[in-house]
Amino acid sequence: MPPLPGEGQPPMEFETPQFEMTDENLDDHTVVVNVRGEIHVTTAPEFSRRLNDVIASGKTLLLLDLLGVDFIDSTGLSVLLNGLRSVTRADGRMAIAAANPTVLRLFEITKLDSTFDIHPTRDEALASVRGQAT
């Protein structure tokens, strides 16, 4: 009997997804969360846990800097929606800095570009989350 496809071959290896997240406390109320790499089904649990920790710390003005994000899927969008809900419940505000066309397109096709406060630069997003006119 002939071998099955893939039989006798080493298992496929996939690259470890690139994901980095840091946060910067700007003042008593404002935090910038910097995310780089990919936000998808593999990285979303860590992103969710860490984002929830930042929100639970009591910061009410949250800037998500996604300028270094190359890819986001529906799982990542779900984490963002949950984060927005948590910040809003705490009477806070959240803004997103994003410029990657692939990331922006996902917000657009899911119609979430009208749900999130999205800006092309970190400075504009920070001004928005702080309620300042740009």
Residues whose CB is less than 8 angstroms from the CB of residue 16 and which lie 6 or more positions away in sequence, other chains included: none
- φ, ψ for residue 70 (rounded to 5)? -90, -25
Q: Hey, what's the torsion of the CAs at 59, 110, 72, 66, to 10 degrees? A: -40
**Tokens for 47?**
């992103």
**Tokens for 121?**
């630069």
6 pLDDT band (50/70/90 cuts)? Answer: low
The whole-number pLDDT of residue 17 equals 75
Query: What pTM was estimated for this model as a whole?
Result: 0.86
Average pLDDT over residues 124-133: 91
**Tokens for 74?**
């529906």
- Model confidence pLDDT, tens digit, residues 55-112: 999 999 999 999 999 999 999 999 999 999 999 999 999 999 999 999 999 999 999 9
Each domain of the chain, given as residue ranges in start order, spans 19-129
Cβ atoms 62, 27 nearer than 8 A = no
The whole-number pLDDT of residue 134 equals 54
CA atoms within 13 Å, Cβ hemisphere of 43: 23
* DSSP for residue 5: T
Average pLDDT of the chain? 91
CATH placement of domain 19-129: 3.30.750.24
For residue 33, the SS3 value is strand
Q: Report whether pLDDT(27) > 60.
A: yes
